[in-house]
Amino acid sequence: MINEKMRALGAKRSVIRELFEYGKKRKAEIGEENVYDFSLGNPSVPAPKEVNEALIKMLSEGDSVALHGYTSAQGDAAVRAAIADYINKTQGESVNADCLYMSVGAAAALTCSLTAVVNEGEEVIVPAPYFPEYKVFIERCGGVIREVACDEDFQLDISAIEAAICEKTAAIIINSPNNPTGAVLCEENIKALAALLKKSEEKYSRTIYLIADEPYRELVYDGAFVPYLTKYYDDTLVCYSYSKSLSLPGERIGYVLVCPRCKDFLETYQAICGAGRALGFVCAPSLLQKLIPYCLGKTAEVEIYDRNRRLLLEKLTEYGYEMVRPEGAFYMFIKSPSGDATEFAERAKKHEILIVPSDDFGCKGYARLSYCVKTEQIERALPAFKALIESYKD
Amino acid sequence: MINEKMRALGAKRSVIRELFEYGKKRKAEIGEENVYDFSLGNPSVPAPKEVNEALIKMLSEGDSVALHGYTSAQGDAAVRAAIADYINKTQGESVNADCLYMSVGAAAALTCSLTAVVNEGEEVIVPAPYFPEYKVFIERCGGVIREVACDEDFQLDISAIEAAICEKTAAIIINSPNNPTGAVLCEENIKALAALLKKSEEKYSRTIYLIADEPYRELVYDGAFVPYLTKYYDDTLVCYSYSKSLSLPGERIGYVLVCPRCKDFLETYQAICGAGRALGFVCAPSLLQKLIPYCLGKTAEVEIYDRNRRLLLEKLTEYGYEMVRPEGAFYMFIKSPSGDATEFAERAKKHEILIVPSDDFGCKGYARLSYCVKTEQIERALPAFKALIESYKD
């Protein structure tokens, strides 16, 4: 009698969760320090001090009724204005408060955006590998996921995307810096995508939305440049979250930005508000919304992630592992020495290393390593990584 | 190209919002003190002091990574255990942490519950008058709303509900204390409903869920008794929110409780988790979840609402208004002297009184007055209420 699709979604743990639970059990058995858990993308660096300072200040000095009261459904107007200013200053954009819809994190930003722009049976293109929840979100609103493999450097394969676009294409989801690969899409690649999308909009006389999932925007290394997509393509929705940049993943605060030059700007913005309403969001958490103006431009200590990344890159490459050099987020995507993702992840387990096989990310032959962990864990894990790859030479 | 249903939902303000915006404009024109705004159900009493004290304590002393990190999707286990204990102590129930799913407020609790138990084309019975978003939530998950009028005391009309139940009935939503009437369903009425639902489950060989929307549970007066529905009917889902009891409506924290004796307990719980995942909730805001164990049993100063209620009841009745004596929430539902809800609310506007016509609540001939306002506003408004009803005698 219950909705069987929903039951299945609730009953089946994701591979990542499954591995995390295995890790918990294993840690209880052999000691936490002997399990090298690289399974979860949960920030390991504390929030910048401004976060708790501002929250305490508001709670001590603010009017309780105003502080904890409903904001308007699209979010507090002053908060949206402050974010718009910040985007304009840092990206040379010209957005305003009315382009922004405050959301309950990036997942909500995505479900509101997809619910707003996808109609029953329409397709959403997703370059693979990709965050597995995209499929859940797309299918829940009646859409069909259309996976398109990236090239071997995890840049978009523009001809493959062109071949996938059809009269039913409602949107494409781009995630850069990328989970699970750590790749950053270069400007040339973005320009080619924008040109293709414009051409395709004309060809099929329809809007094709570019949905940018950007929780990792600030987590970049080696001075990598992350193009701001509204500047390349007008029909863009930016889904942002403060989860990773401010190390607040549990607090659920983010936004959707509708590009002010979007063809059907008002209708699109209204549809996002309508979706938020229908999905039951009411408003993003009030206290967290009001925190944001205090923290614009602040980030958790990204240097710690970079130190982890450099250490792993140096050592794993030295041991003989292969991977595309990650430029952002806190993931690296390691090639399976056997070519088989599950075999690799299972063999890693025998060395007490927990990494996620790539199949669920829509891609074969890799495993994802999350390096948002204590540096000491990496140092302790190095001999195990060495032993793991050497086991393939036997 | 966008989803037209969602655009319409986002474009059309609710009547309540419309009136609220009119009030803002009018206040700017003639001064805030001259507009008697009874339109919104936004708590006017501050959160109990324990709320901000506990938040500040956690922010000052807690580990930032743990405090702001992801909780499990169904919510922090210790928080759920504390809530379960509290329910058991106060209601004589025997629930545990695994019966609870922490939600982003009551609206999310409802959308997760409905998405979990309603299949395309199935019906959900809603006794009228009712909170208008129920219709939006039911239709978004493919269900059909089936309105059934309450009796003249706003108790459930059991024979009318019996006539509405059919093989397609998936659920019934009960909201007591009620928005918009302030009525509390009495135990006898609940017992009769439970008996009918049991009989109907047998007759149609299907589960019919009783969804209890209970954000106003603690806001009751004159010692009114609010039956705890799991004790009368096993296939019950309780959707609770701390918005009103703790005066935190913007913070979005609540839960779904699945009755442990529910026929398909595990499947139902899993479907709710799956729905939360598919709708993009990830987890309820972490800091707010962790606040709850500090505040169990605490409420904002309900006495202030009661004082407002008594003052209005006494004076409005004296002037000649008719209404059913409200026993809970912070609403009263006043009969239109002309019998026409819109005419009444429009005429009230001329006296600078803002009350919501009842049509959008699925009921003709009334207006809703929200008395979650400063007592002084009521005192200032009394001559206007007198003049308003006297205008009908001309």
Please report which confidence band the pLDDT of residue A15 belongs to, taking 50, 70 and 90 as the band edges. Answer: confident
Residues from chain B that touch A47, judged by Cβ atoms under 8 A, are 64, 68
The beta-carbon neighbor of B271 closest among A7, A67, A273 is A7
- Give the number of other Cβ atoms within 10 Å of residue A85's Cβ: 15
**Cβ separation of A59 and B55 shorter than 8 Å?**
yes
> What pLDDT does A394 receive?
73
Please report which confidence band the pLDDT of residue B40 belongs to, taking 50, 70 and 90 as the band edges. Answer: confident
> What pLDDT does B334 receive?
98
Please report which confidence band the pLDDT of residue A20 belongs to, taking 50, 70 and 90 as the band edges. Answer: confident
Is residue B204 within 8 A of residue B170, CB to CB? The reply is no
Is residue A354 within 8 A of residue A19, CB to CB? The reply is yes
The radius of gyration of chain A's CA atoms, rounded to the nearest angstrom, is 21
Residue of A7, A138, A370, A372 to mutate for B, most B C-beta atoms under 10 A: A7
Please state, in angstroms and rounded to a whole number, the distance separating the CA atoms of residues A216 and A240. 9
**Cβ separation of B65 and A59 shorter than 8 Å?**
no
Please state, in angstroms and rounded to a whole number, the distance separating the CA atoms of residues A292 and A294. 5
Residue of B1, B4, B287 to mutate for A, most A C-beta atoms under 10 A: B1
Residue by residue, DSSP assigns A73-110 as: TT--HHHHHHHHHHHHHHH-----GGGEEEESHHHHHH
User: Is the four-CA dihedral A271, A276, A282, A286 of positive or negative sign?
Assistant: negative
> What pLDDT does A13 receive?
74
Residues from chain A that touch B207, judged by Cβ atoms under 8 A, are 1-2
Please report which confidence band the pLDDT of residue A21 belongs to, taking 50, 70 and 90 as the band edges. Answer: confident
- The per-residue pLDDT of chain A, averaged, comes to 96
Among B238, B191, B200, B210, smallest CA distance to B127 is for B210
Task: Kindly report, residue by residue over A280-328, the tens digit of the pLDDT.
Answer: 999 999 999 999 999 999 999 999 999 999 999 999 999 999 999 999 9
**Cβ separation of B207 and A1 shorter than 8 Å?**
yes
Please report which confidence band the pLDDT of residue A18 belongs to, taking 50, 70 and 90 as the band edges. Answer: confident
Biggest distance spanned by C-alpha atoms of chain B: 68
β partners of residue B144: B123
Please state, in angstroms and rounded to a whole number, the distance separating the CA atoms of residues A368 and A205. 39
Among B111, B131, B143, smallest CA distance to B178 is for B131
- Chain A residue with CA closest to B59: the answer is A52
**Cβ separation of B271 and A108 shorter than 8 Å?**
no
**Cβ separation of B277 and A116 shorter than 8 Å?**
no
Q: Chain A to chain B, count of Cβ pairs less than 8 Å apart?
A: 266
Exposure letters B203-214 (e unless 16+ CB within 10 A, then b): eeeebbbbbbbb
Average pLDDT over residues A267-285: 96
> What pLDDT does B158 receive?
98
Given a cut of 90, is residue B20 above it in pLDDT?
A: no
- Chain A residue with CA closest to B65: the answer is A46
Average pLDDT over residues B99-109: 97
Please state, in angstroms and rounded to a whole number, the distance separating the CA atoms of residues B138 and B145. 6
**Cβ separation of A11 and B270 shorter than 8 Å?**
yes
Please state, in angstroms and rounded to a whole number, the distance separating the CA atoms of residues B104 and B289. 10
> What pLDDT does A171 receive?
98
β-strands B169-174, B144-149 pairing: unpaired
Residues from chain A that touch B6, judged by Cβ atoms under 8 A, are 115-116, 270-272, 274-275, 278
β-strands B366-370, B356-357 pairing: antiparallel
Q: What is the Cα B383 distance to its own chain's centre?
A: 31
Encoded tokens for A222: 């080696």
Please report which confidence band the pLDDT of residue B138 belongs to, taking 50, 70 and 90 as the band edges. Answer: very high
Q: What are phi and psi of B109, to 5 degrees?
A: -60, -40
Please state, in angstroms and rounded to a whole number, the distance separating the CA atoms of residues A279 and A284. 13
**Cβ separation of B10 and A269 shorter than 8 Å?**
yes
Residues from chain B that touch A298, judged by Cβ atoms under 8 A, are none
The beta-carbon neighbor of B251 closest among A115, A274, A285 is A285
Residues from chain B that touch A69, judged by Cβ atoms under 8 A, are 42-43, 249-250
Would you give the end-to-end CA distance of chain A in angstroms?
54
Collapsed DSSP state (helix, strand, coil) of residue A369 = strand
CA distances from B282 to B47, B66, B279, B288 (A): 26, 16, 9, 14
> What percent of chain B shows pLDDT beyond 70?
100
Residue B104 to chain A, least CA–CA distance (Å): 7
Residue by residue, DSSP assigns B305-373 as: HHHHHHHHHHHHHHHT--BPPP-BTTEEEEEPTTS-HHHHHHHHHHTTEE-EEGGGGT-SSEEEEE--S
> What pLDDT does B387 receive?
98
**Cβ separation of A70 and B118 shorter than 8 Å?**
no
CA distances from B231 to A92, B62, B97, B340 (A): 60, 38, 18, 40
Among B384, B103, B56, B372, smallest CA distance to B258 is for B103
> What pLDDT does A180 receive?
97
The beta-carbon neighbor of A3 closest among B51, B69, B117 is B117
β-strands A123-128, A144-149 pairing: parallel
Residues from chain A that touch B291, judged by Cβ atoms under 8 A, are none
Is residue A188 within 8 A of residue A149, CB to CB? The reply is no
Is residue A363 within 8 A of residue A331, CB to CB? The reply is no
Residue by residue, DSSP assigns B17-55 as: HHHHHHHHHHHHHH-GGG-EE-------SPPPHHHHHHH
User: Is the four-CA dihedral A319, A324, A325, A328 of positive or negative sign?
Assistant: negative
The beta-carbon neighbor of B117 closest among A2, A273, A285 is A2
Please state, in angstroms and rounded to a whole number, the distance separating the CA atoms of residues B153 and B165. 22
- Give the number of other Cβ atoms within 10 Å of residue B32's Cβ: 12
Residue B23 to chain A, least CA–CA distance (Å): 15
**Cβ separation of B7 and A43 shorter than 8 Å?**
no
**Cβ separation of B136 and A278 shorter than 8 Å?**
yes
Please state, in angstroms and rounded to a whole number, the distance separating the CA atoms of residues A178 and A216. 8
**Cβ separation of A275 and B108 shorter than 8 Å?**
no
One-letter-per-residue 3-state SS of B52-83: HHHHHHHHHHCCHHHHHCCCCCCCCHHHHHHH
Residues from chain B that touch A109, judged by Cβ atoms under 8 A, are 280
The beta-carbon neighbor of A117 closest among B2, B140, B275 is B2
- The per-residue pLDDT of chain B, averaged, comes to 96
Encoded tokens for B94: 């025997």
β-strands A331-335, A366-370 pairing: antiparallel
Please report which confidence band the pLDDT of residue A231 belongs to, taking 50, 70 and 90 as the band edges. Answer: very high
Task: Kindly report, residue by residue over B303-360, the tens digit of the pLDDT.
Answer: 999 999 999 999 999 999 999 999 999 999 999 999 999 999 999 999 999 999 999 8
Collapsed DSSP state (helix, strand, coil) of residue A390 = helix
- Chain B residue with CA closest to A274: the answer is B10
The beta-carbon neighbor of A272 closest among B10, B63, B280 is B10
- Give the number of other Cβ atoms within 10 Å of residue A186's Cβ: 18
Please state, in angstroms and rounded to a whole number, the distance separating the CA atoms of residues A380 and B4. 55
- Chain A residue with CA closest to B252: the answer is A285
> What percent of chain A shows pLDDT beyond 90?
93
**Cβ separation of A277 and B10 shorter than 8 Å?**
yes
Q: What are phi and psi of B357, to 5 degrees?
A: -65, 150
Please report which confidence band the pLDDT of residue B68 belongs to, taking 50, 70 and 90 as the band edges. Answer: very high
**Cβ separation of A59 and B64 shorter than 8 Å?**
no
Reported pTM: 0.96
Residue A22 to chain B, least CA–CA distance (Å): 15
Residue A283 to chain B, least CA–CA distance (Å): 7
Please report which confidence band the pLDDT of residue B267 belongs to, taking 50, 70 and 90 as the band edges. Answer: very high
Residues from chain A that touch B288, judged by Cβ atoms under 8 A, are 285
Residues from chain A that touch B141, judged by Cβ atoms under 8 A, are 3
Among B143, B111, B145, smallest CA distance to B128 is for B145
The beta-carbon neighbor of A68 closest among B104, B250, B268 is B250
